[in-house]
Amino acid sequence: MIQLSNLSKTFFLNGKSKVVAKNINAVFPSGVSIGLLGRNGAGKSTMLQMISGTQRPTSGSISSTGSISYPVGFAGSFHPELTGSQNARFVARIYGVDTEKLTEFVKDFAELGVHFDLPFRTYSSGMRSRLAFGVSMGIKFDTYLVDEVTSVGDAAFQTKSSALFQERMKTSGAIVVSHSLPMIRKLCSAGAVLEKGRLFYYDGIEDAIKHYNHVIQGRTPPWIVEY
Ligand SMILES: Nc1ncnc2c1ncn2[C@@H]1O[C@H](COP(=O)(O)OP(=O)(O)OP(=O)(O)O)[C@@H](O)[C@H]1O
């Protein structure tokens, strides 16, 4: 379970303020895959960053009962001079998981062939994504945070990635940010909409999509009194 308590976040830039969370109180239940929807700039990525702990709220707090991943597919902390294999070991040590097991898993999953033992700096962007997705999904977390990982590799690899995600969802939950509704429908059973600093949680993804469809047409859903 992830609990947001009186959570507020405001950015100040060039004398202007942007509120992305306004005193939000909400609970993301354990073991559920939740699609986080909202317009461009609503604050979805910021919300994931606050949940992962890389961004601080302006006020309020976030507490959780289980382990939370770093954003799935994030490659920014890989060292360019280390090989894919060495980077996988490095991350395994940071998270205290079996280095051999994770490395074997990633080797098999990411299908990088000889590149797995070559420096990360020599990788194509597709190879980087495959390594990053394999490493993050290779570690068991209670909740996976997924931000727009919609196109990892070619069609065959996407099918494989999606199957791995569904497999993980048997024992874990996720918060998934994507503008692709087919992707959200495929991966999520529940949903939440972030709009004007408020968060609306729905047990059913179709109800969240209904709300989102109102939002993108600039309308307030009839079941919401006011934002
Ligand atoms: N470090 C920052 N400093 C100032 N403003 C920021 C910062 N990070 C984000 N913002 C602003 O906060 C708002 C929310 O950004 P965020 O990336 O969280 O939105 P999003 O819902 O994920 O958007 P998108 O759907 O376009 O990816 C935007 O207006 C953005 O410009």
Distance CA 205, CA 127 (A): 32
ipTM: 0.97
Mean pLDDT computed over every residue of the chain: 94
Instruction: Determine whether the shortest distance from the Cβ of 42 to ligand 1 is under 6 A.
Output: yes
Domain limits of the chain?
A: 2-69+177-216, 84-140
pLDDT, tens only, 129-176: 899 999 999 999 999 999 877 566 778 888 888 899 999 999 999 999
What mean pLDDT comes out for the span 198-217? 97
Q: What pLDDT was estimated at residue 151?
A: 61
Nearest CA to ligand 1 atom 26: 40
Q: Worst-scoring range by mean pLDDT, 50-64, 67-81, 97-111, 116-130?
A: 67-81
Give the Å distance between the CA of 75 and the centre of ligand 1: 20
For atom 10 of ligand 1, the residue with the nearest CA is 11
**2-69+177-216 adopts what CATH topology?**
Rossmann fold (3.40.50)
> 73 or 220, which is more confident?
220
pLDDT for residue 150: 59
Look at residue 140 in the predicted model and tell me its pLDDT: 94
Q: Measured from the CB, is residue 38 less than 6 Å from ligand 1? A: yes
C-alpha of residue 106 to centroid of ligand 1, in Å: 32
Is the beta carbon of 41 within 6 A of some atom in ligand 1?
A: yes
The pLDDT assigned to 64 comes to 96
Confidence of residue 227 (pLDDT cuts 50, 70, 90): low
Ligand 1 atom with the smallest distance to the CA of 38 is 21
pTM over 0.90, yes/no: yes
Nearest-atom number in ligand 1 for the CA of 12 is 4
Q: Give the model's confidence band at 106: pLDDT under 50 very low, under 70 low, under 90 confident, else very high.
A: very high
- Read off the pLDDT of each residue in 31-52 and give the average, rounded to a whole number: 96
Confidence check: pLDDT of 96 > 80: yes
pLDDT score, position 100: 97
Instruction: Locate the ligand 1 atom nearest the alpha carbon of residue 48 and give its number.
Output: 18
